[in-house]
Amino acid sequence: MLADQDHMLSSALLPVLLDALEEAVTIVDREAIVRYWNRAAEKLHGISAEHIVGQCILDFTWKSLMVEHVLRDGAPIRQAYHEPQRGKHVIINTLPVRDDAGRVIGAISTEQDVTYIVRLGNELMQTTSRAGTTTADAPALERNDPWSILWGNSRTLLAIVQTARRVAQTDANVLITGESGVGKELFAQSVHNGSLRQRGPFITINCGAIPAPLFESELFGYQGGSFTGSDRKDRAGKIELAQGGTLFLDEIGELTMEMQVKLLRFLEDRSFYRVGGSNPVRVDVRIVAATNQNLRLRMEEGLFREDLFYRLNVVTLRIPPLRERLEDVPLLIQRFLREFSLKYNKPIPVVDPSVIIALMSYSWPGNIRQLRNAMERIVILAEEGNAARKHLPEEIRDIWEVKQGSDSLPANPTPENNSPACRVGGRRAIDAEEIRAALYRTYGNKHAAAKQLGISRGTLYNYLKRYGMDIRSQ
């Protein structure tokens, strides 16, 4: 009795659970007959559950759900991009359902509507296109606005820029934090350009790139002939070179404890001694430091001095990682595509919607630097001015690659090859309009069009010949 109640509860809960999901969910049995079709699926495909449940999925939306491949091969399809109708973009995950013996007895497919991502990407890229014709305009913009080099309109970025604008007008020390590749040096440059010291020099020293024995002389300079191998003439260090301007100490967390003490002494007295020198040198410089490390954690580990931290940390600017400002990705895409198109004298590529989805959904551990490199790759590899998913770097492409077997289907399906029983007489033919639409969506890329249609490229060529289409012009 209790078992019967549990079964009844489970049966009642499943439809409720499916309807509560925002993703479109479809469940089919071994014969590709639809058993569950939730409300999100009704909305996405414009087909009511009453009309499709109990029917063969292959007669409706078999291409978008890709259950045919899963039922046949037993291999899951993950993060597949599809355009079920013009202007509608989805990401599909389809998994086989197996019995205790491991046999495929059905499939479950979820579709996430990502149309808003594609539209947002296109709108922002078009806005950027109207805002400027080439990246050659950038220097003029930078002369007029010191903050124009920080591309983006996201709330996250604009909030930190607003704080940086206020700080720039003072002489307060600034500590810029953020992951590698977020643009910390660009922020430091903007703080300098937006300050009263903008006519003075902006001097950079990377605290992690110079060997410890040489760092002191690089920072403070040295007295001529003060050590073996040194020039007989005096040599000014980075601090002196920054006189009247800004000294940017990048990767400040890499400083040795010995150098931290000497830097702290300079910050307190605003004077220092050259290596081998006996006369104090006084300078007027502003200090901007940056790090991708957690300095508080390094203090707890005894690797960074608290007194130096609080000297540097008058104002902290935390630069958000790219994954926290994804709405800026299309603008950056457009900027970098223009930059490298000019560099390599190539047309700006037309970006396929699947590429925009992949770029806006990726976590970007390397941030803007990684995105810039990806755009350079796309410009170099784009064929006939069209950027497809295959042109993406491997680490991005692998996430979005459809995990499936052969894309060709057997001519005469049999139970042994796991073909859905409702596909009697082979798969239905693909009409000419569907092929034209697929080629339109993929900008004529036949490999991509064939993948969207769920057929091999050879099969696509056969269809082109059958319908009398010009293979070269499609």
Q: Choose between 289 and 222: higher pLDDT.
A: 289
Q: What confidence score (pLDDT) does residue 374 get?
A: 95
Q: What confidence score (pLDDT) does residue 448 get?
A: 75
- Which DSSP state fits 208? T
Contact between 334 and 135 (Cβ < 8 Å): no
Tokens of 181: 């590749």
Do β-strands 174-177 and 286-291 pair in parallel, antiparallel, or remain unpaired? Answer: parallel
Domain residue limits at 364: 118-124+324-400
Q: Is residue 200 pLDDT above 90, yes or no?
A: yes
Q: Is residue 120 pLDDT above 70, yes or no?
A: no
Cα–Cα separations (whole angstroms), residue 22 to 36, 48, 259, 364, 456: 15, 16, 56, 26, 32
CATH at 87: 3.30.450.20
- Burial (CB count <10 Å: 0-12, 13-18, 19+), residue 161: middle
Distance CA 198, CA 410 (A): 70
Instruction: Say which range, 31-40, 150-159, 342-351, 379-388, has the weakest mean pLDDT.
Output: 150-159
140: in domain:
no
Regarding whether 170 and 247 lie in a shared domain, the answer is yes
Regarding whether 192 and 205 lie in a shared domain, the answer is yes
Regarding whether 309 and 189 lie in a shared domain, the answer is yes
461: in domain:
yes
Q: Is residue 114 pLDDT above 60, yes or no?
A: yes
> Of 322, 347, 366, which residue constitutes the final position of a domain?
322
**35-94 pLDDT, tens per residue?**
999 998 888 888 888 888 888 887 665 555 678 778 888 888 877 777 766 677 787 888
Distance CA 415, CA 211 (A): 69
Q: What confidence score (pLDDT) does residue 406 get?
A: 32
> Of 306, 322, 338, which residue constitutes the final position of a domain?
322
Regarding whether 174 and 253 lie in a shared domain, the answer is yes
Q: Which of 437, 465, 444 is nearest to 83 (CA)?
A: 437
Q: Is residue 412 pLDDT above 70, yes or no?
A: no
Q: What confidence score (pLDDT) does residue 131 get?
A: 45
Q: Is residue 6 pLDDT above 90, yes or no?
A: no
Regarding whether 351 and 233 lie in a shared domain, the answer is no
Domain count, the chain: 4
Regarding whether 291 and 169 lie in a shared domain, the answer is yes
**319-378 pLDDT, tens per residue?**
999 988 877 888 888 889 989 999 999 988 888 877 887 887 788 999 999 999 999 999
What is the pLDDT averaged over residues 213-236? 76
Regarding whether 307 and 164 lie in a shared domain, the answer is yes
**DSSP conformation letters of 77-112:** EEEEEEEEETTEEEEEEEEEEE-TTS-EEEEEEEEE
192: in domain:
yes
Contact between 96 and 104 (Cβ < 8 Å): yes
Contact between 390 and 442 (Cβ < 8 Å): no
Looking at the chain, the whole-number percentage of residues with pLDDT higher than 70 is 77
Regarding whether 278 and 166 lie in a shared domain, the answer is yes
Please enumerate in sequence order all residues whose Cβ is within 8 A of that of 156, keeping only pairs 6 or more positions apart, or say none.
320, 324, 325
Q: Which of 334, 464, 53 is nearest to 474 (CA)?
A: 464
Regarding whether 104 and 35 lie in a shared domain, the answer is yes
The model's confidence at residue 418, banded by pLDDT at 50, 70 and 90, is low
The model's confidence at residue 118, banded by pLDDT at 50, 70 and 90, is confident
**293-315 pLDDT, tens per residue?**
999 999 999 999 999 999 999 99
419: in domain:
no
Distance CA 109, CA 26 (A): 5
> Of 263, 290, 322, which residue constitutes the final position of a domain?
322
414: in domain:
no
What is the pLDDT averaged over residues 231-256? 90
What is the pLDDT averaged over residues 433-456? 76
Regarding whether 300 and 195 lie in a shared domain, the answer is yes
Q: What confidence score (pLDDT) does residue 139 get?
A: 37
Regarding whether 292 and 181 lie in a shared domain, the answer is yes
Contact between 223 and 175 (Cβ < 8 Å): no
